[in-house]
């Protein structure tokens, strides 16, 4: 059975993972693979750490979409992939890879996941999670300090210089490609229920 591919986009710290978890809890499926677009940032180990700091990580060209598309196509053929992982403290790809097996549902998650036409065409359902800029910035500040070893100053500088302008230039416009836009500043049970029903319908059609 061909897997169902779900692409979940939205601004940085908009709550994409939370929405995905809500969908999964209602699907009651054990056979799900989640692939984070962040793990496909390009390998930069040949660059100095100073040069890595200057890379615009919110631009589509910072991501290795050729590899991701190749991996999605491999999973659709029923074959395993060795997915890269990213080291956010070292600003480069980690030496560690993860084996991902083909599952009934494969979720692709990332702020720029809908910018690539090839990925959109491979996706059965395309979602965009939306949240106001101030709330997203606060969440990102807390996350990057706690989970990614960043300083307050570096997070603010990155947000003002790249994250915010790139969001409005590249991320936000991809809403037009989404099948469903989910506002994450209040309860979104109805949207999640609609998505779950659609997934179940597709799985039924493909079983």
Does residue 19 or residue 97 have the better pLDDT?
97
Name the DSSP letter for residue 63. B
Residue-range domains of the chain with CATH: 4-206 (3.40.50.300)
* 83 within 8 A of 35, measured Cβ to Cβ: yes
> What does the pLDDT look like over 148-181, one tens digit per residue?
888 999 899 989 999 999 999 999 999 999 999 9
List, as one string, the DSSP characters of 88-138.
TTTTEEEEEEEEE---SEEEEE-TTTTS-HHHHHH-SEEEEEE--HHHHHH
Question: Which pLDDT does position 114 carry in this prediction?
Answer: 98
Taking Cα atoms as reference points, which of 123, 110, 146 lies closest to residue 5?
123
Q: How many helices (H) and strands (E) does the chain have?
A: 8, 7
Query: pLDDT band for position 207 (50/70/90)?
Result: very low
Distance (Å, whole) CA 25 – CA 31: 12
Distance (Å, whole) CA 105 – CA 127: 14
* 145 within 8 A of 138, measured Cβ to Cβ: no
135, 10, 172, 65: CA torsion to nearest 10:
140
Asked whether the CA dihedral 191, 194, 200, 205 is positive or negative, the reply is negative
> What does the pLDDT look like over 60-91, one tens digit per residue?
999 999 999 999 999 999 999 999 999 988 88
> What does the pLDDT look like over 91-118, one tens digit per residue?
899 999 999 999 999 999 999 999 999 9
Does residue 30 surpass a pLDDT of 80?
Answer: no
Distance (Å, whole) CA 132 – CA 11: 9
Query: Both ends of the chain: CA-CA distance in Å?
Result: 6
Residue 43, helix vs strand vs coil: coil
Percent of the chain with pLDDT over 70: 97
Distance (Å, whole) CA 136 – CA 129: 11
Distance (Å, whole) CA 195 – CA 200: 9
């Amino acid at each position: 059975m061909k897997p169902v591919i779900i692409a979940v986009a939205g601004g940085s710290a908009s709550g994409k993972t939370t929405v995905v978890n809500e969908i999964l809890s209602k699907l009651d499926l054990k056979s799900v693979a989640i692939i984070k677009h962040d793990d496909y940032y390009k390998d930069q180990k040949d660059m100095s750490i100073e040069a890595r700091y200057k890379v615009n990580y919110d631009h589509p060209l910072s991501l290795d979409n050729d590899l991701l598309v190749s991996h999605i196509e491999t999973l659709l053929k029923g074959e395993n992939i060795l997915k890269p992982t990213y080291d956010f403290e070292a600003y480069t790809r980690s030496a560690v890879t993860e084996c991902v097996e083909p599952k009934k549902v494969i979720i692709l998650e990332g702020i720029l996941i809908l910018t690539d036409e090839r990925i959109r065409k491979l996706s059965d359902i395309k979602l965009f999670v939306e949240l106001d800029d101030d709330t997203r910035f606060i969440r990102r500040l807390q996350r990057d300090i706690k989970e990614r070893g960043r300083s307050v100053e570096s997070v603010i500088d990155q947000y003002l210089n790249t994250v915010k302008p790139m969001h409005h230039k590249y991320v936000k416009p991809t809403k037009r490609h989404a099948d469903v836009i989910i506002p994450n500043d209040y309860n979104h049970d109805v949207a999640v229920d609609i998505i779950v029903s659609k997934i179940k319908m597709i799985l039924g059609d493909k079983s």
